[in-house]
A = this chain, B = another copy of it.
Amino acid sequence: MAADKVILAYSGGLDTSCILKWLLEQQYEVICVMADVGQKEDFEAARQKALKIGAQQVVVADVKESFVQHYIWPAIQMGLVYEERYLLGTSLARPCISVALVEAAKQHGAKYLAHGATGKGNDQVRFELSAYALQPDLKIIAPWRDVEFCRRFQGRQDLIAYAQAHGIEVTAKPATPWSTDANMLHISYESGVLEDPNIVAPSSLYELTLDPLTQAPQRATRVCIHFEHGLPTSVEDAANKRVYNTPLEMLTFLNELGGSYGIGRIDIVENRYVGLKSRGVYETPGGTILRAAHQDLEVFSLDREVLRTKQLLRDRMSDYVYNGFWFSPEALYVRRCIELAEQQVSGQVTIELLPGYCRVIARKAADAVGSLYNKQLVSMDEHGGYVPQDAGGFIAINAVRIREHVRAFGPYPTYK
């Protein structure tokens, strides 16, 4: 009888290498899949390592372009942000990687999907919900939730011992006292020394951004970002007029420029879907710039009440994506609703980059479309069709409820 096939989300690291070996011990046939979402990784070395351990096959799927175009760009368009600060770098990568994993499963007729995500984290949820959505009958193997596996591997030392015992190469460089996740949008840092939220993160931790004070250029520079229907369509480097046009080029450029300025570092405590609070440090240089630009253009472009509804939908969508529901009825629906609103978000935004942060300084609507910003209407020097006298009635009618409350229930407290 042929062995059951497993697709393993492989990283080349200690954990998934041991998991690979362990799966082989359980008599599975293992196909390792590495999705290249922009992490700096020696994929070829990892492939060799996996094959040496015993993987039947190793697939490296370059999904960078898809990741930027089909996950990051919509996230910018929708204005997604979790708990008002986290730009969802890891959350967005998970469904993208899952597509590659499920494709491999379909191609190889594998019934199982294995991953190395921990049992306390969000990623297990994101991988598995995505997998169930894309191939509802797929079976999941999550070793870090397996009682047997957890008993065997109670800490990093057990993994190292196991690796050494099975001839699995253990990287020479000592592990950082935190864990990271890197892709085109960001690098995240958590666990280890970061677990005490009152201990300042070591300055040596940052990989994607330079130190704003000591390493960034001590002068401002500008970029001009164009949007169509809420999606970035080009980025111009004002310093040299160079223009970037594809999503991948734009993000790469903004990551490099933003990174050199030390832009996009945050240190937060966030609420995980499984009910824990965890502390994370994130670097998101390009994403931070894109979000600032999009946010500015959106408020500039949308009718106030449309904006209010859109923001409500955005908040829901941010939770869906963080929690792993990228592929879900609600995310499909809310995304289409937001896209409708974004039809009117077209124009350009000028952003100034300074050491450590960026700042929107100018914006205009696309020439071809109308704009709700009306210089005549708002001007102090002309009427522009506005009749100031109307405001008196507007205020008086709005005051009806306010006065009624006093009549019925007495005066408002004036202090507090």
Contacts and interface: CB of A to CB of B under 8 A. Distances in A.
Given A332-B412, A370-B409, 10 more contacts: A83-B299, A129-B402, A132-B403, A133-B406, A200-B350, A275-B398, A327-B402, A333-B340, A333-B341, A374-B408
Given A136-B406, A374-B276, A179 B380 contact: yes
Contacts of A328: 305, 401-402, 405
A45 interface: no
Given A136-B407, A333-B306, A391-B145, A99 B414 contact: yes
For this chain, the copies found in one complex come to: 4
Contacts of A6: none
A361 B201 contact: yes
A334 B307 CA distance: 11
A334 B360 contact: no
B295 A325 contact: no
A52 interface: no
A390 interface: yes
A61 interface: no
A191 B379 CA distance: 7
A290 to B, nearest CB: 15
Interface string A126-139: 00110011101000
21 contacts: A125-B398, A132-B402, A136-B403, A140-B392, A140-B395, A267-B362, A268-B299, A269-B299, A275-B399, A303-B404, A308-B330, A313-B337, A324-B398, A327-B402, A332-B413, A333-B340, A337-B340, A372-B408, A386-B400, A389-B393, A393-B394
Closest 9 CB pairs of A and B: A393-B393, A119-B388, A275-B400, A370-B408, A305-B330, A303-B329, A390-B393, A394-B397, A271-B304
A392 B398 CA distance: 12
A396 B399 contact: no
Contacts of A213: 218-220, 354-355
Interface in A360-382: 360-364, 370-375, 377-381
Given A212-B354, A313-B309, A370-B408, A362 B197 contact: yes
A201, A277, A374, A379, most chain B CB atoms within 10 A = A277
A396 B392 contact: no
A54 interface: no
Contact of A380 (B133, B191, B267): B191
Given A145-B392, A328-B405, A398-B125, A412 B359 contact: no
A55 to B, nearest CB: 25
B379 A195 contact: yes
A144 interface: yes
A356 interface: yes
Nearest to A98: B414
Contact of A378 (B74, B276, B410): B276
Contacts of A391: 119-120, 124-125, 142, 145, 274, 393, 397
A3 interface: no
Interface string A323-355: 011011110111011001100100000100011
A229 interface: no
A150 interface: yes
A357 interface: yes
Nearest to A377: B276
A8 to B, nearest CB: 17
Contacts of A313: 309, 337
Interface string A264-290: 011111111011111100000000000
A316 B200 CA distance: 34
B389 A394 contact: no
A341 B295 CA distance: 26
Contacts of A218: 213, 218
